Amino acid sequence: MGFFDKVRGEFVDIIEWIDDTNNTLVHRFDRYGNEIKYEAQLVVREAQQAVFINEGRIADVFKPGRYVLNTKNLPILTTLQGWKYGFHSPFKCEVYFCSTRLFTNLKWGTPGPVTMRDKEFGPVRVTAFGIYSMRVKDPAVFIREIVGTDGNFTTEAIEDNLRGKIGLRIKEVLPETGIPVIDLEGKVVILGQMLKERIVSGFEGFGLELTEVQVQDIGLPEEVERAIDKSGAMKAIGDLRAYTQYETAESIPTAAANPGGTAAAGVGIGMGFGMANQMTQSFAGQQAGPSQTPPPLPGYYLAAGGQQAGPFGVDILKQKMVAGELTRNTLVWKSGMEQWTAAGQVLDLAELFKDVPPPIPGK
């Protein structure tokens, strides 16, 4: 073996890249002095492309396959080197392997709140975030525009730039959609499609292909979320009387199983209907507004002849006292009293009898 054959054998004769990472976009094939042996083998695997750069200029791009490097498959490089009769000696050239596989789950988010004008809530500040997927579409453009001479270029090196592009574009897209803020969560797929259409050209300028944009969440101010929750709760309750009646009916089996039996169930039903009536009146009063007259305060019930009558207000009780239907000994009751009590012993009614003489003794 001659001296030149020995030297020639020390140069690289197999050029390949086995990617053991999940984030490398471009990897430069390293060898001493960038020397490549004539008729060396180039192995480009699936989801890869190899870019040859000679003296700072892109010479050739190889797609997946196995190649023997000679003048037949390096026509551009041959022209650049000026070899009129081919070449049989080692040559200098940089080789960059570019991964063309799909890179997924790359995160993006709005750099700050987006102000939207909403018909229901007025100006609202909205945030959004999600993920996107992309791949290298044109390795030559990507290396020329982004990578430069970086020997190991990863997704982290470009994520900030791409995240900024998406975040700024969604600041334009959100206000233009015209979608009410309360419906944004249900329109995330549409938003993702609109966002992709808006920024795909910006990615192509880098030699990249934007394959998908997902909007995963829309952030609303706390006061807007509380307003939405309250509105939903009121709509969910709907007919308050019917809701309370239903709940009371559902409680009957439980009440019947208690020691009180059906009597307890009856009391429960009565209380349920009473509560439903009071709550319905309360809601009706709130909805009617301040112009409506508030309901009268509850009065006293009277017990006469084993029968219950009332409730009666103070004015009616005065009339009944004059008519003799109400005396000091008439049993009365109102809400809050523990038991039926003689009217003369009730502090609120004692004033009614101050000018009425007591019964004649013995009568």
pTM of the model: 0.56
Please, what is the Cα angle at 37 between 33 and 41, to 5 degrees?
Answer: 120
The half-sphere exposure of 300 on its side-chain side, counting CA atoms within 13 A, is 25
pLDDT of residue 247: 59
Please say whether the beta carbons of 356 and 326 come within 8 A.
no
Please say whether the beta carbons of 343 and 327 come within 8 A.
yes
pLDDT of residue 227: 73
Mean pLDDT by 10 residues, the chain (363 residues): 46 82 92 72 94 85 88 56 51 88 93 86 89 95 90 91 87 86 88 91 93 91 75 58 60 59 46 52 51 54 78 80 80 83 79 69 60
In 3D space, the residue among 102, 81, 107 whose CA is nearest the CA of residue 93 turns out to be 81
Residues facing residue 310 across a β-bridge: none
Calculate Rg over the CA atoms of the chain.
44
How many other C-beta atoms are found inside a 10 Å radius of the C-beta of residue 359? 10
Q: How far apart are CA 264 and CA 245, in angstroms?
A: 16
Residue 78: strand, helix, or coil: helix
The encoded tokens of residue 333 equal 């009751």
The residues, any chain, with a CB within 8 Å of residue 24's CB and separated by 6 or more, are 99, 152, 153, 154
pLDDT of residue 281: 56
Please say whether the beta carbons of 157 and 150 come within 8 A.
yes
Distance (Å) of CA 165 to CA 98, 104, 110, 116, 201: 23, 17, 10, 20, 11
Residue with token string 């870019």: 51
pLDDT of residue 296: 44
The encoded tokens of residue 245 equal 């009646």
Q: How far apart are CA 6 and CA 245, in angstroms?
A: 100
